[in-house]
Chains A and B, each alone.
Chain A
């Protein structure tokens, strides 16, 4: 089993900011928009070097989505940025009509997703965004796992023509993927090969899955761990290939169990190969105030929850 180590912890939103910094230098069509959260989205380096290609929208997210859609008419590649809650549910109809249905090349880049936003509490902790976004026809939905992967994904989506939802977060987490990786939209990343259970994880849960793999190995269970950074289009081939080998699945996501990665994987399994599946996700509930670690513990999103789910899945084979 491959061992993953890290020398530093960083937030995925800083990976986004670093990606934007690169795009600012490389792609003259990239325009950044923000709704009064420049610091939170780590946009300062982009804005400093490209003041003419930054649009401050104020606290007006609906208008920001519409202005972004309009900027594509004229060949610009707008990156509309704010917290995930305000980037999705608050502006769902604007995204649906002006971006998705109109097939506009808008990149909706959403920070502070999920419980790990922490102390601000449930009003800001969106756990439904992956579901809402993946239901929109033509929308690509990406949830990278660490700083380096978020940076790579940010750069990659500028070259992809079409609407994208890019989800990332606030807390510092281990940086364990390669700094110079090439991000392939829609291509699952094999973290660790195994034979006993497939663990499909996304976003912050990938590191938890890696730790779970080590805990399981100590108990003689050989877990296969796959990073599903692209929720849509889903890499069905990678999922099926894995469960053919392992015969059971665990999905892990910082999201409501309804409508997220787990349901997407379940659809693939129902249609193609029925194997037991266990969900590690928030059990149809809102979040609350607390530290990220406390919340992940309370809502069942830790490595030990993945271990327990893996054992349940194996026992049902």
Chain B
């Protein structure tokens, strides 16, 4: 897809995010907005998906297609919106986000059988392990497609992440691209102040990963280029890490660059201000 078209999708996804979080007065807009480019680039440009008549066909095993895992499950709004626009389910369902009897739970789950989701996430630090497992299954099945996993930078404080980081190079899981959303923010403040997990790239390199940095994680051209570069390095015995520098709250001026909108919903006035900054390109749900 052309960059301009991807950017149009991203604008609509951002509208969905703020409307979804406003609609239930809860959820996590900051990280969702910051990860809009990467999710759109993955689903609309990079990933090979099993499709029929232009629509993805969801199957839990996901053989013969690329797979995506969201480890930092609290940014579910961006994932739900991207899945809906990609055709996994009707976009009208986005209105049910975080409401009783919804398949769009606060954090993603397979429990309600929402198409596109293969494992629950929310309790942090677990997604990369699952992604590695599915990558190993692909190798056992002689399925040469790729597994992607997105994690937060605050999430790197979880010990299990480093168990997984040690495991993947040891077992030469070279069909895996992990992405860290480096927005520098977590609930209690800047990541550097809360728990300084400095030099993540060097840490991963020391563990045996190949590391790529995308400095402009909210620039669609840079994100698409970074993904292609990462994919080009697969298959040589090492997993690939993309350090994706993003801005928390990107796209809504008053939400940008602060942890204050990590898990806060906009009120009616704030919603109006946000929507005025985001063009409706594909039609609101």
Contact = CB atoms under 8 A, between A and B. Distances in A.
Given A58-B167, A62-B160, A97-B123, A70 B130 contact: yes
Interface in B189-240: none
Contact of A71 (B137, B143, B160, B171): B137
A230 interface: no
A102 B119 contact: yes
Interface stretch (A49-57, A255-263, A279-287, A306-314): A49-57
B106 to A, nearest CB: 13
A75 to B, nearest CB: 5
Contacts of A62: 125-126, 129, 159-160, 163
A74 B163 CA distance: 22
B72 to A, nearest CB: 13
Nearest to B121: A97
Nearest to B173: A67
A82 interface: no
B133 A73 contact: yes
Which of A31, A69, A93, A96 is the most central at the interface, judged by chain B CB atoms within 10 Å of its CB?
A69
Q: Which of A57, A60, A63, A76 has the most CB of B within 10 A?
A: A63
Contact of A69 (B63, B111, B119, B167): B119
A9 to B, nearest CB: 37
A33 to B, nearest CB: 9
A76 B138 CA distance: 10
Nearest to B128: A66
Interface in A64-100: 64-76, 78, 93-94, 96-98
B56 interface: no
Interface string B135-153: 1111011010000000000
Contacts of B159: 62
Contact of B166 (A31, A60, A101): A60
A74 B63 contact: yes
Contacts of A60: 160, 163-164, 166-167
B109 A66 contact: no
A228 to B, nearest CB: 29
Contacts of B118: 73
B129 A70 contact: yes
A70 B141 contact: no
Nearest to A69: B130
Interface residues of A, number: 32
B62 interface: yes
A53 B137 CA distance: 10
Interface in B99-120: 109-111, 118-120
A314 B271 CA distance: 70
Interface string B160-181: 1001101100110000000000
Interface in B67-93: 67
B132 A70 contact: yes
B160 A78 contact: no
A20 B62 CA distance: 27
Nearest to B131: A70
B126 A97 contact: yes
Contacts of A102: 109-111, 119-120
B134 A71 contact: yes
Given A58-B167, A60-B163, A75-B61, A98 B122 contact: no
B64 to A, nearest CB: 11
A68 B123 contact: no
Contacts of A98: 119-120, 126, 129-130
A66 B122 contact: no
A101 B111 contact: yes
A103 B167 contact: no
A73 B130 contact: yes
Contact of A74 (B122, B128, B143): B143
A63 B122 contact: no
A53 B140 contact: yes
Given A93-B123, A101-B111, A63 B164 contact: yes
B282 interface: no
A53 B140 CA distance: 8
A74 B109 contact: no
A104 interface: yes
Closest 10 CB pairs of A and B: A70-B133, A66-B129, A74-B137, A63-B163, A60-B163, A70-B130, A67-B133, A70-B134, A62-B160, A71-B133
Interface of A: 31, 52-53, 55, 57-58, 60, 62-76, 78, 93-94, 96-98, 101-104
13 contacts: A31-B140, A60-B163, A63-B163, A69-B133, A72-B137, A73-B61, A74-B62, A74-B138, A75-B63, A75-B141, A97-B122, A98-B129, A104-B119
